[in-house]
Every structure is written in C-alpha cells, then in structure tokens.
C-alpha cells in the first residue's frame, strides 16, 4: 500500500504537466487570434490616423509627346540621334518638301491671277464709263437733230396749209423727222445698255474678291503643308529612339519620334483608399527614388485623382457577383517636385517611395 501511495502523487504531477503543455499553447494561439481580429478591425483606422502616409507604389512621370507626321512623303533627313538633348524649335526631322513647294508655287500663281483679274476689273469699269459718256454725247446730238427735224417738219406742214410749200419738201421733212427720231431712240437705248453693262461689271467685284480670298486661303494651306514637312521640337527635352529613318515613306499620323520634357518631371503615387481621409492638396511630400539611393527630394501634393485606378482600366472589375472579395482600392495622386539640381538625373518610369505629411498642410 505504501508503494502505491508513493506512486500516485508522481502520476498526478505528470498529468498536470501534460495539461500545462497543451493548455499554454492553446491560450497563446487564442490570444494571437484575438489580437489579429482586433488589429484587422482597427488597422484601417490606425493607418488613417498616422501623421505620415507612405507608399512604394509610386513612379516618376513626364508629359511625353509623340511627334507624328502631318503630311506624307519620304524622310529626307534626321537631325538628331537617339537620346539627344534638344531645345524648343530645333529641327528634328525633315520630310522631302519638293511636292509641297510645287503646290505652294502653284497656289501663289493662282493668287496672283485672281488679284490681276480683280485689278483688271477697275480698268473695265473706267472703259465702260467712257463708253457711257460717248453714248450720252451721241444721244445728245441725235436728240438735237430730231428736235431740228421736227421743227422743219412742222414748218413744212404750216407752209402747205398756206399753199406756199411743196409736197416734195414736206415729204422730205417728214422722212427726216422719222429718221432722226429713230436715231435718237437708238442712242438713248445705247446709253441705257452702257449703264447696264457698267452695273454688270461692278457686280463682278464681290465674286472676283471672293476668288482672291479663296486663292489666299489655298496659298495659306499650301504654306502650312510645306511647314509640316519639318518636325520641330515643341519644347526643351530629350528625344527618344527614332521610329523612322532616312528614306522611309511616312503617311499622316505616322509616329516619327518622341520627346520627353526633362527635367520637367512629376510623380504619380497610388495610395490606398484608407490613407486618404486626411490627405489634401498642398501638403508637403518627401520622395526617395530607387535609382538614387541616399538622395531625397521634396515636393507638394498638387492633385488627387477623381476616381480610383481601377475605374480607368480598360476592363473595370465587376464586383456584382456571388463570390465577392473586398479589395482595398488605390487612388492616384500627383506630386510636383520642388526645384533641385538632382531632378536632372530623374527619368520617367523610375520607381519611388513617397511619404506625405498629412498632420498639417505644407507651407
């Protein structure tokens, strides 16, 4: 009996140790699960309450311009090499201008002809005014002769009535009256016709003036087409790889070369929607770029996107399904750098880490 009594306490201690080994890990696991649950429920609130909001989903950007041909033709020369620095107005690429110079000269000749026609119209007007004056003079003479013939005819009639005249003279006077009267009518009609011709000539003025305006517009179009044979740098920057080479035939819209306005760069950072509750335009920003370790940049938050990035996707996600899973969305914001000589070393597309001070607005 004494031996059994001695064995029982030891067995009890072993059982307690076994329970302890099982219970303690269970309690630890339970505590961790509780902590994780509480953290997951309050994590968004904690992150939104931080005075500094950071993200590594950020990239350097620039307003890259893809320059394309506005006229068709063969490339006659390329004046830059890949990645050259250029100034605004520098000639980058020349399309053969021969055809467009010929069209410009043709349009200029058409304008000169239209101007000459309009100028000749004044000569026609002066000539027609002279014709009117001549017709009026002839009409005056004809009417005077008609009046004289009428007087003679009346006198012959009076003499016949008194028996002092002769039938022959009376008939001659009547014939002269009819002839001069007809001549007077003809000259009067000639005056009317000459004046009508002047009105017709004057009526051509708007048409010929419109022809001149149309010819000027055609010349302007030809000059524009000729100017489009030169592709110029629209701003200071660095050119990319050339898309065409000398001798290539390009058409309207053919991408020829691209230019990046370095060092005029900015940054697009994609923040989680839970980080935006205190974010405002004008807040100070600190930026580090992966390509420049140890270098730090400052800037200002200048704009917030009106929608999350998924809304601008080609195929936006449709969450109206039975197996919906909530995903935190990201909203792009634009950050403009403060002036710094180191901006010369930044290139569009570089990755960056951004920290925004949301505790107070940047000064």
**What mean pLDDT comes out for the span 173-184?**
84
pLDDT at 29 over 80: no
CATH, domain range 70-95+229-255: 2.40.50.100
Q: What is the pLDDT of residue 38?
A: 53
- Residues near 298 by beta carbon (within 8 Å), at least 6 away in sequence: 284, 285, 286, 287, 337, 338, 340
Extents of the domains making up the chain: 49-64+261-363, 70-95+229-255, 98-226
Is 306 in a helix, a strand, or coil?
A: coil
Q: Which of 235, 214, 217, 309 is nearest to 65 (CA)?
A: 235
User: Per CATH, which fold does 98-226 belong to?
Assistant: Helix Hairpins (1.10.287)
Query: Which among 306, 285, 267 has a CA at the least distance from the CA of 359?
Result: 285
**How far apart (Å, rounded) are the C-alpha atoms in residues 325 and 133?**
99
Question: Looking at the predicted structure, is the pLDDT value of residue 363 above 50?
Answer: no
Give yes or no on whether 49-64+261-363 and 70-95+229-255 have one common fold. no
Q: What is the mean pLDDT of the chain?
A: 85
Dist CA 253 CA 68 (whole Å) = 5
pLDDT interval class at 171 (50, 70, 90): confident
Tell me the pLDDT tens digit for each residue of 233-291. Answer: 999 999 988 889 999 999 999 999 999 998 899 999 999 988 888 899 999 999 999 99
d(CA 270, CA 279): 13
Give the CATH superfamily of 49-64+261-363: Efflux pump adaptor protein, beta barrel domain (2.40.30.170)
Break the chain down into helix, strand, coil percent, rounded to 5. Answer: 50, 20, 25
> What average pLDDT does range 292-305 have in this prediction?
92
pLDDT confidence bin for 107, thresholds 50/70/90: very high
pLDDT number for residue 302? 94
Burial class (CB in 10 A: 0-12, 13-18, 19+), 292: middle
Helix, coil or strand: residue 84: coil
- By percentage, how much of the chain surpasses pLDDT 70? 86
pLDDT at 214 over 50: yes
Quote the longest CA-to-CA distance of the chain.
203
């Amino acid at each position: 009996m004494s031996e059994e009594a001695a064995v029982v306490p030891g067995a009890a201690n072993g059982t307690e140790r076994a329970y302890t080994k099982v219970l303690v890990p269970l309690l630890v696991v339970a505590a961790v699960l509780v902590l994780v649950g509480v953290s997951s429920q309050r994590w968004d609130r904690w992150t939104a309450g931080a005075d500094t909001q950071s993200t590594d989903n950020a990239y350097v950007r620039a307003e890259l311009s893809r320059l394309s041909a506005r006229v068709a033709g063969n490339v006659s020369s390329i004046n830059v090499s890949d990645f050259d620095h250029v100034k605004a107005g520098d000639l980058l690429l020349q399309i053969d201008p021969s055809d467009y110079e010929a069209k410009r000269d043709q349009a200029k000749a058409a304008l000169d002809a239209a101007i000459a026609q309009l100028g000749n119209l004044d000569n026609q007007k002066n000539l027609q005014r002279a014709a009117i004056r001549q017709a009026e003079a002839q009409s005056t003479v004809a009417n005077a002769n008609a009046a004289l013939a009428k007087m003679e005819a009346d006198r012959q009639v009076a003499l016949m009535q008194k028996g002092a005249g002769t039938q022959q003279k009376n008939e001659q006077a009547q014939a002269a009256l009819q002839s001069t009267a007809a001549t007077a009518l003809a000259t009067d009609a000639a005056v009317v016709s000459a004046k009508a011709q002047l009105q017709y000539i004057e009526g051509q003025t708007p048409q010929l003036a419109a022809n001149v305006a149309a010819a000027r517009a055609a010349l302007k179009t030809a000059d524009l087409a000729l100017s489009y044979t030169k592709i110029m740098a629209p701003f200071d920057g660095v050119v990319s790889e050339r898309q065409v080479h000398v001798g290539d035939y390009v058409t309207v819209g053919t991408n020829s070369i691209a230019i990046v306005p370095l060092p005029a760069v900015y940054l697009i950072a994609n923040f989680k929607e839970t980080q935006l509750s205190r974010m405002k335009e004008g807040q100070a920003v600190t930026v580090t770029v992966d390509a420049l370790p140890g270098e730090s940049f400052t800037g200002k938050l200048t704009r917030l996107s009106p929608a999350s990035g998924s809304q601008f996707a080609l195929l936006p996600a449709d969450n109206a399904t039975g197996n919906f899973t909530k995903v935190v969305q990201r909203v792009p914001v634009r950050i403009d750098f403060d002036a710094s000589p180191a901006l010369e070393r930044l290139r569009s597309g570089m990755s960056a880490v951004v920290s925004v001070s949301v505790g107070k607005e940047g000064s």
